[in-house]
Amino acid sequence: MRKILLLLCIAMGLSENVFVEPATVPESHNVIWGARSSRDVLIKREIVKETFKPLRVVSSNYEFKQKTDRIPYPRTITQIVVTDVYTDGDGGHATLKSGGPGMDFAVIHLKSQRGHGYHFTIDIYGQ
């Protein structure tokens, strides 16, 4: 059967790769820093979004600081999960600038693609 299909493709001037190549699926730009254990709790969930600006890249810093006046012993971050809500490949990118797992603060740089905005869900876990 495969030989017949190959002969038909050659006769039509097509290569065999036309039928074998899978379609590319755009991906989200999710990122995870650290590792979570069963004792960890969700410290903070934040939804951060920024609208697009034509022909420009939109960026900002998200800062997570625990209020020390209310919490005498701040929790230690064990994992940060940044989920890109845009699943079509047009979302932004997140990078950890400072802090993070093992610390009690984090600064995350969020950046969009040119001509697009970004929409992230940031989950911070700790003990």
Mean pLDDT of 81-109: 91
Mean pLDDT of 82-91: 86
| Alpha carbons 100 and 82: distance in angstroms, whole number | 12
Mean pLDDT of 96-120: 93
User: How much of the chain, in percent, has pLDDT values that exceed 70?
Assistant: 78
Q: How big is the chain by its Cα radius of gyration, in Å?
A: 22
Which pairing describes strands 77-84 and 31-34: parallel, antiparallel, or unpaired? antiparallel
Using one digit for the tens of pLDDT, what is the confidence trace for 42-71?
Answer: 999 999 999 988 989 999 999 999 877 777
Got the DSSP string for the chain?
Answer: -HHHHHHHHHHHT--THHHHPPPP------EEEE---TT-EEEEEEEEEE---TT---EEEEEEE--TTT-SSPPPEEEEEEEES--SS---EEEEEEE-TTSSEEEEEEEPPTT--EEEEEEEEE-
Q: Which residue bears the tokens 């064990």?
A: 78
Task: Pick the more confident residue, 19 or 120.
Answer: 120
Q: Which pLDDT value is given to residue 69?
A: 73
